[in-house]
Structure formats: C-alpha cells, structure tokens
Amino acid sequence: MERHGIASDDALNPSSSSSSFNMSDHPEDIQTIILSLLPLKEAARTSLVSRSWRLDWRQHPNLCFDATKPRSKDKDCVKRAKFIEAVNSVIQQHSGRGLNKFRIRCGLREESSDHIDGWIRFATAAKAKTIGINLWSSRKHKYTGVFGWSRWSLYRFPLDALGAPDGPFIQSLFLSNVSIELHLDTCGLTKLKRLVLHSVQIVGDIVDLLLNCSSLEDLKLIACSGVTALNIPHQLNKLRHLLISHIYVQMICFHVTEKASVKFKQDDEALDHTFTAIPSISGVKELNMRADMNAYVYYVHWVSQVHTATRPTHMFMNLRLLTCEIRICTPVPNNHSGFLQLAHCLNSAPQLETLQLHMLYAAVPTHRCDVCWTGEVTGEGASCMGRLGSLRTVHMSGFRCYRAQVELLCGILEKSSSALERVTLETEVTLRCSRKFNTLIPGFQIRQWARATSKRFGKVITVVSPCSPIPKILGKSSKQYYKGS
C-alpha cells in the first residue's frame, strides 16, 4: 500500500522478487552502516519511508552542520535562529551513540555561546573522534587584520571539555575563528592525531598544548595570533606533517618531522627568513616553502640580497625533495636579486634529489630590458653553493630569463654532477594568477638562451612553452630539447 509517497513496510519487502533489496533482511548494525553513508539530511528523511527506520537515523555517526549553504534570502538573524533550532533539534533526537564526526560551520554571535557550549558538551559526551568548529563571521567592523577577530568577539573554545573521565577519545580537532587558552594540565589529547588551527587566537604558550599531544601526526597553524616562537617538543616523535602559514613567527625548531610546509609573507628577506627562523630541521625529507617578496622601488641597482650570516652547514641533511612557491612583486624584475637567497638552501641540502621552483613576478615588466636578461652571468648564484652531487631533477615554472633566475640556474648547472638527468623550464606561470601574466611570453628568446646554456654546461634542458600556431602548423610538439655537446 502506498499513500502520499510514503511506503509501508510490506511495500518495501515484496515477496514476489527475490532479487530486490530488503533493508530488514540485514542485521541492525549493517543497516546503521548503510544509513551512515547517506548525508545527515537524507538519512533523516528515511524515517518517512519505513516505520522500522524511524529510529535508525538517530544513530547517524556523522553530524555535520553548515550554515553557509544553501544560500537563502532570509536576514542574518533569521538564518541564525533557524540554524540554531535545526542543530538543537537533531542533537535532542540523536542517540549520542557511535558518533564519529561532529562539525559546525556557521557565523554565530557572542550571544549564541550558550548554544555552542551545549553542542560541544554533546559532542564530547558522545566521544566524537573528529570535532570541527568554524565560527566564521561577516562582521568587518570587528576585524583586526590578517590574524582574525579581536579577543572579545571570539568564542572561547573549552579545551578542558575534551578530557573524559574514562580516558581520551578525540583524534582530530579543527578550530577556526575561535580563541583558546592554553595551560600545562590540559588533558584528553593524548590520542589526538591531527590538529588544525586556522585564524585562532592563542592565549598562552602553544608548547603547553603540544606537550599533551603525544600521538600527533599532522599539525597545521594558519593565520593564528599569539605565536611568536614555535618549538616542537621531542615528545612528538610521531609528527610527520607540519604546515605553518601566514604567521609572523621569529623562531621555529623541530627535528622529527618528515614533511613540512612553511609559508612566509614578508618583504625582500622572506626567503632568507627561512634560515634565521628555522635553525635546524635535519629530519625533514620533503619541504614545501612559500615566500612573498615585495620590492616597490622602480629603479634600483643590482645588489645581492644573499646574506652571509652563519648557518648550520647541513641544516637540511636528509632533505630529498624541495618545492618552492615564490611570488615577487617588482616592476623591474632584472633589478631584483632576492631570489638568490635560495642558493643558501641548496648549499645546506647535500642529499637533495628533486628541486621544484614555481615563480611569479607579479608586476608585468614595462621595459624592454626586463623581458630577458642578455647581460653577463656573474656567478652569484653559485658563490655560496656547494657541490650538488645528488641532484637529479630540476623543474622551474614561470621561467622568463630574468637575471636572478638565470644566475641561480647557471649556478645549479655549474655545481651539479653527472647525476643531473633532467632540467625542465616551463615558461608559463603555474601558480594561481591572472591570465595577463601568461601573455606575450618571449618563448623564442628563452629557447635561444636554453640552447646556448645547454652547450655551455653540457646538460639536457627541456623548454616547455605554450602551444602556438607555428608549432601546430609544423606538426611539432611545444617541448623543445637542447643537449650540450
């Protein structure tokens, strides 16, 4: 029997078809797993299909609430009220058993802190393995800059609530646009494997928090305030991935991480700051670095910005793969030498095998002399470099034959051994950018330079340039290969 689109239990179990799927034929735990594969909203709708399913959705393991979609025309206050009502309704009906994920993404004001406290109490009482709280806000008048909201407008996340009487339970914690207060006796985090803090105001020493995270494997700190120095304790011997982005940190010390991502956004010493802020990361095998460099002077002389401060000779002792994303804002690319700071990094990585450089000169050159460097190569790129005996692959995107690019690449070719198998120069900018940065690329001049440089150093250089009508007519690939004699 069927009425108003709602099927009875008999209709869901037709005896005439032995090949039909009958939910009731499966054990209760299997039915719960099947429902858990549905989004929460769809799982709740199954209660309209069968009386036997009316209570099953209340054990759904993933409770994820997102107030950012779908978009509605309601006023903010109405949307917030509806969102709070919906979350409270689901929580009140949920059994609280078998909860795996609990995530909230909404823009609530301070007067809603009582509701948020209740949601967190529910998640911790249910021992959710993953908790995510993102309290984004559109109130620009309370914004304090790139590091988030002022302390008085932020919700203080209760870290103490993560400690359960019968032991720790949380394995993944994501916090965004909240405030946390740290102290040494924070408990309940010994099983935490993943910690992501985005736009979080940190009150206290973050080391006090990390000392309680002995199982931590993945740590990400993005645009957080309150962190001026970061000393990863030796107790974190399971840490494998580290991301530090948009934080004006003066010192970073870590020794056990295998993969790290460090993003600095400063002035012309952004790359050089890597060596002063990170005295030693000898355990890292894969390093991703990003630096934004700004030079607003239109007419300056070529002055080397590679500093000669004393640094550990083998600070990247075990580094095998280095990936750099470098954005340089200058109207005169050939007069900007900050890119050569990277030479110090290569000198400190004796085991480096793969080097990937992705470059973007944000200001389109307006002078003909800034199209391709045709002057003398002074050798500054190799002045501080040691022998690169393990280097096998070099890939550079956004290569336009600017002076610093030419100096660095010639230094690499000079210091590399016969182990260097592949050098690839990609003329297009692969970093996110406007289309205008990939127009009027001087492909012919770059290929001509690559041919001469290949003969000079006896290395194979591959130039990858955008497809043009001429290669299509000739039936040739856009890749051009040059091999020295």
Report pLDDT digits (tens) over 317-337: 888 999 999 888 888 888 888
Among 359, 366, 360, which Cα is nearest to 299's? 366
User: Which is more confidently placed, 288 or 391?
Assistant: 391
Given a cut of 70, is residue 470 above it in pLDDT? Answer: no
Torsion, Cα of 274, 279, 282, 287 (10° steps): -10
Determine the average pLDDT of the residues in 273-299.
67
Helices (H), 94-232: 113-125, 206-210
User: Which is more confidently placed, 397 or 261?
Assistant: 397
Q: Determine the Cα–Cα distance for residues 357 and 40; give it in Å rounded to an integer.
A: 43
Among 386, 440, 437, which Cα is nearest to 415's? 386
Query: Picking from 29-38, 154-163, 393-402, which range would have the lowest pLDDT averaged per residue?
Result: 29-38
Q: In Å, how far from its chain's centre is CA 388?
A: 29
Highest mean pLDDT among 41-50, 250-259, 268-277, 424-433: 424-433
Confidence of residue 13 (pLDDT cuts 50, 70, 90): very low
Say what angle helices 76-93 and 113-125 make with each other, to 10 degrees. 30
User: Which is more confidently placed, 391 or 291?
Assistant: 391
Residues 38-82 have pLDDT tens digits of 555 565 555 545 555 555 567 778 888 888 765 555 667 778 888
Residues 432-465 have pLDDT tens digits of 887 888 888 888 999 999 999 999 999 999 999 8
pTM higher than the cut 0.75: no
Q: Determine the Cα–Cα distance for residues 70 and 468; give it in Å rounded to an integer.
A: 43
Q: Determine the Cα–Cα distance for residues 265 and 276; give it in Å rounded to an integer.
A: 15
Count other Cβ atoms within 10 Å, centred on residue 230. Answer: 22
Query: Picking from 6-10, 120-124, 165-169, which range would have the lowest pLDDT averaged per residue?
Result: 6-10
Q: b/e per residue, 337-352, with b = 16+ CB within 10 A? A: bbbbbbbbbbbbbbeb
For 81, phi then psi, to 5°, come to: -65, -45
Q: Determine the Cα–Cα distance for residues 194 and 38; give it in Å rounded to an integer.
A: 25
Q: Assess whether the previous peptide bond of 333 is cis (omega < 30° from 0).
A: no
User: What's the one-letter identity of residue 9?
Assistant: D
Q: In Å, how far from its chain's centre is CA 265?
A: 15
Count other Cβ atoms within 10 Å, centred on residue 370. Answer: 21
DSSP 3-state of 133? strand
Residues 184-243 have pLDDT tens digits of 777 789 999 999 999 999 999 888 889 889 899 999 998 899 888 787 777 788 888 888
